[in-house]
């Protein structure tokens, strides 16, 4: 969580346990949604960016584009497409658990695929929560002769503490991430693999084979981030805060036989063996002061904060003929201003500007403006079902995606949100601007490996976005409502929709063409449309997400739409019914993912740069079909899933080259099984 959200000055509210207190925002757990294979699920915030590979494989995912990095700091390690793999400390999620809670997820499939995910959270006191989240995935490609094995792990461990007098709040969070793989270099001649028979007729497709270009190469990617953040409330209105973050990223590549074209035509030293590694350090220190306005139920600003941010960095590279250390002597000094509020025409603002040191002139600004919102209620003797004063103040973060079915806690209790709603809709406007230098890692890597001494231009991404959202709720049953605790009533959603229109500009995006010295493209203007729709009945549900993103023609003629697909679509169908005299809940589902054509790119983690294939290789115009069945008995979900079923067939009109990065095909058809198990003490 961002610290501004983690340390909201919440008030005590009634819960089923009167000794407990809601002291922080809580993670949602929707028990109606089946996470059949969470290791491959697309994030709801990525609006249809599909994760094509199992975690740990080389392209997972890659075609989000080579815009400015997706991390939130001014100084960072460059463009990072592995957001689904790296778990940052500031994204640590905490829970309010009335009893110790453990969730265990296990998956197994062909290719020696074994995946584990374990979450444990526990409150040692009403104000102290400790959470551990562990994930481990081991798999190898199933194609004949591929010889590629992958291993991925990450650990998140955190503690959130609030003193008994509510004056002192503290977060300590640690994350460790690691990804290892034996590299095969991709396909040398892809026509041997992708076209085993005529592609203009519907027919069975034979399983392809690899002719690896690398036989002894391997790579490792390691990252950790540790966070200490605390705040002391001087009184009801003023607070002081401090945050310290340490982050380290390491990338290593080795090839004992030098049978490689991994670095293109450029080799960096005269040794037969190749050993390349780099290390990146980032240290961040933030101090600030906050002011909290008196709480009201009406529209109002809630808090203002002003922070001083210091970031320092060092980059180290191990190559025999090149310089080893790159350290910027001047730490960056930035000023951050944050305002929060709720209600119509009350903006939320976060802006950070670098005034001195590395990255001087950088800025990161985001503004959210609720333009209009309206709630309609069912007629009921219980009215709005909002708790009486003084507990009727409800802070609503992320108002644009607000839904009264959310706000779940680990124990299923719900305290956030209005009750007995009939219809809820509104419009929000957003402005985002991130403008900063290309990372020191990118500049140093290209200087080392290609004797490239040109200083890179500032790069960034700015956009304007409008969001329309609408949610229709099912009418609750009055007979199930307890008037004394009526605001904890669960009110399910009948359907919801969201429509987003966005226009923006990529500023001097950085890239490379077939690993030659880096290039920065001209500013690229784009427009994006996103439509999402969810419909729920007693047994059947539909979830649909469609996105369209187009760029104006670039000066680089061989880069179609800046390497990004124009269309992306995700369709999920689910049917749920009781079985065996209600002893078991059975869910049958299908997921269909489609991506239109785009130019093949791949990502080099050692250079933190996207690379474009100069041969104009096209991918996409392809869909994936997954089918699954889930049986729930009490707190255990047992599932069976068939992935990428359409790989078995050649379908005319769709691209037979089922790949999402150059030289690496999508995993073929496979069947996986496993379980999700929840433990309550």
The predicted-structure confidence for 415-439, as pLDDT tens digits, reads as follows: 334 457 788 899 999 999 988 887 7
Listing DSSP states for 47-104 in one string gives TT----S-TTSTTSS-TT-SSS-SSS-SS-SS----TTT---GGG------SS-EEEE
* Weakest-pLDDT range from 165-169, 368-372, 548-552, 563-567: 563-567
Percent of the chain with pLDDT over 70: 70
Q: Distances from the Cα of 139 to the Cαs of 84, 109, 151, 209, 528, in angstroms?
A: 17, 9, 7, 17, 35
pLDDT class of 285 with cuts at 50, 70, 90: very high
What pLDDT does residue 395 have?
35
Could you tell me which residues come within 8 angstroms of residue 474 by beta carbon, excluding any fewer than 6 positions away? 491, 492, 493, 494
Examine the pLDDT at 134 and tell me if it is beyond 80: yes
pLDDT class of 335 with cuts at 50, 70, 90: very high
Q: Distances from the Cα of 98 to the Cαs of 16, 25, 410, 681, in angstroms?
A: 9, 15, 8, 10
Which token pair is 173? 């969070």
Could you tell me which residues come within 8 angstroms of residue 271 by beta carbon, excluding any fewer than 6 positions away? 258, 320
What pLDDT does residue 479 have?
55
103 close to 132: Cβ distance less than 8 angstroms:
no
Neighbours of 497 (CB within 10 A): 16
Q: Which SS3 state, helix, strand or coil, does residue 655 take?
A: coil
- Report residue 223 CA to chain centroid gap: 16
pLDDT class of 81 with cuts at 50, 70, 90: low
362 close to 332: Cβ distance less than 8 angstroms:
yes
Examine the pLDDT at 345 and tell me if it is beyond 80: yes
* Weakest-pLDDT range from 40-54, 106-120, 140-154, 387-401: 387-401
550 close to 529: Cβ distance less than 8 angstroms:
no
What pLDDT does residue 39 have?
53
Cis, peptide link before residue 369, omega less than 30° from 0: no
Mean per-residue pLDDT of the chain? 75
Q: What would the pLDDT profile of 508-536 be if each residue is shown by its tens digit?
A: 887 777 656 667 788 889 999 999 999 98
What pLDDT does residue 259 have?
62
Nearest to 511, CA basis, from 361, 613, 363, 616: 613
Could you tell me which residues come within 8 angstroms of residue 557 by beta carbon, excluding any fewer than 6 positions away? none
CA distance 672 to 639: 8
Could you tell me which residues come within 8 angstroms of residue 423 by beta carbon, excluding any fewer than 6 positions away? 374, 375, 376, 470, 471, 472, 473
Residue 542 burial (CB < 10 Å; 0-12/13-18/19+)?
Answer: middle
CA distance 366 to 91: 18
* Weakest-pLDDT range from 227-231, 312-316, 452-456, 480-484: 480-484
* Weakest-pLDDT range from 279-283, 373-377, 486-490, 537-541: 486-490
* Weakest-pLDDT range from 16-30, 118-132, 211-225, 665-679: 16-30
**E strand spans, 47-112:** 101-109
251 close to 605: Cβ distance less than 8 angstroms:
yes
What pLDDT does residue 417 have?
43
What pLDDT does residue 17 have?
44
What pLDDT does residue 488 have?
42
Examine the pLDDT at 284 and tell me if it is beyond 90: yes
Terminal Cα distance for the chain, rounded: 27
Nearest to 33, CA basis, from 406, 321, 392: 406
pLDDT class of 484 with cuts at 50, 70, 90: very low
Which token pair is 132? 């551990």
What pLDDT does residue 465 have?
96
Nearest to 172, CA basis, from 125, 122, 126, 230: 230
Rg of the chain (C-alpha set): 26
Domains located in the chain, CATH noted: 3-263+275-680 (2.40.170.20)
**E strand spans, 394-523:** 421-437, 458-473, 493-507, 510-513, 519-520
pLDDT class of 300 with cuts at 50, 70, 90: confident
Q: What would the pLDDT profile of 39-74 be if each residue is shown by its tens digit?
A: 554 443 343 333 434 444 555 555 555 554 445 677
Examine the pLDDT at 154 and tell me if it is beyond 80: yes
């Amino acid at each position: 969580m961002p610290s501004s959200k983690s340390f909201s000055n919440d008030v005590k509210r009634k819960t089923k346990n009167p000794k407990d207190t809601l002291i922080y925002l809580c993670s949602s757990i929707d028990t109606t949604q089946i996470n059949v294979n969470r290791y491959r699920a697309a994030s709801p915030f990525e609006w249809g960016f599909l994760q094509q590979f199992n975690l740990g494989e080389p392209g997972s995912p890659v075609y989000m584009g080579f815009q400015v990095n997706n991390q939130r700091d001014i100084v960072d390690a460059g463009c990072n497409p592995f957001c689904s793999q790296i778990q940052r400390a500031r994204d640590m999620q905490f829970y309010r658990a009335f009893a110790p809670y453990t969730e265990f997820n296990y998956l197994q499939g062909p290719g020696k695929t074994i995946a584990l995910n374990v979450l444990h959270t526990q409150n040692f006191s009403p104000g102290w929560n400790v959470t551990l989240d562990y994930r481990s995935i081991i798999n190898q490609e199933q194609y004949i002769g591929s010889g590629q094995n992958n291993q991925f792990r990450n650990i998140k461990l955190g503690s959130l503490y609030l003193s008994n007098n509510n004056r002192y709040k503290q977060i300590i969070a640690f994350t460790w991430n690691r990804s290892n793989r034996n590299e095969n270099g991709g396909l040398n001649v892809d026509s041997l693999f992708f076209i085993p028979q005529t592609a203009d007729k519907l027919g069975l497709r034979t399983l392809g084979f690899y002719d690896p270009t690398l036989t002894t190469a391997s790579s490792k990617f390691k990252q950790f981030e540790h966070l200490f953040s605390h705040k002391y409330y001087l009184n009801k209105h003023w607070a002081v805060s401090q945050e310290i973050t340490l982050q380290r990223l390491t990338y290593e590549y080795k090839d004992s036989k030098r049978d490689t074209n991994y670095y293109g035509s450029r080799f960096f030293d005269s040794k037969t063996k190749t050993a390349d590694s780099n290390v990146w350090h980032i240290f961040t220190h933030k101090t600030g002061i906050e002011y909290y306005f008196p709480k009201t139920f009406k529209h109002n600003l809630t808090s203002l904060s002003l922070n001083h941010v210091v970031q320092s960095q060092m980059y180290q590279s191990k190559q025999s003929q090149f310089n080893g250390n790159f350290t910027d002597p001047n730490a960056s000094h930035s000023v951050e201003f944050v305002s929060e509020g709720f209600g119509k025409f009350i903006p939320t603002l976060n802006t950070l500007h670098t005034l001195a040191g590395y990255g001087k002139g950088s800025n990161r600004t985001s503004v959210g403006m609720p333009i209009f919102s309206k709630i309609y209620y069912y007629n009921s003797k219980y009215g709005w079902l909002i708790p009486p004063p003084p507990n009727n103040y409800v802070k609503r973060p992320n108002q644009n995606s607000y839904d009264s079915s959310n706000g779940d806690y680990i124990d299923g209790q719900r305290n956030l949100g209005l009750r007995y709603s009939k219809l809820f809709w509104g419009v929000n406007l957003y402005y985002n601007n991130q403008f900063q230098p290309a990372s020191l890692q990118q500049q140093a890597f290209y200087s080392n490996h290609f004797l490239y001494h040109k200083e890179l231009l500032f790069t960034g991404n700015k956009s304007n976005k409008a969001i329309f959202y609408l949610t229709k709720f099912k009418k609750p049953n009055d007979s199930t409502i307890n008037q004394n605790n009526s605001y904890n009533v669960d009110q399910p959603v009948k359907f919801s929709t969201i429509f987003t229109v966005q226009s923006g500009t990529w500023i001097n995006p950085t890239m490379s063409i077939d690993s030659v010295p880096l290039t920065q493209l001209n500013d690229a203007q784009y427009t994006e449309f996103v439509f999402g729709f969810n419909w729920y009945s007693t047994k059947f549900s539909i979830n649909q997400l469609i996105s369209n993103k187009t760029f104006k023609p670039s000066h680089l003629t061989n880069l179609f739409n800046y390497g990004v697909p124009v269309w992306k679509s995700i369709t999920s169908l689910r049917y749920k019914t009781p079985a065996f005299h209600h002893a078991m809940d059975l869910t049958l589902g299908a997921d269909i993912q489609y991506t239109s054509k785009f130019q093949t790119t791949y990502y080099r983690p050692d250079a933190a740069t996207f690379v474009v294939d100069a041969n104009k290789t096209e991918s996409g115009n392809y869909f994936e079909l997954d089918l699954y069945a889930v049986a729930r008995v009490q707190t255990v979900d047992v599932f069976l899933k068939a992935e990428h079923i359409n790989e078995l067939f050649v379908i005319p009109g769709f691209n037979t080259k089922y790949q999402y990065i150059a030289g690496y095909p999508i995993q073929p058809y496979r069947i996986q099984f496993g379980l999700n198990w929840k433990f309550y003490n």
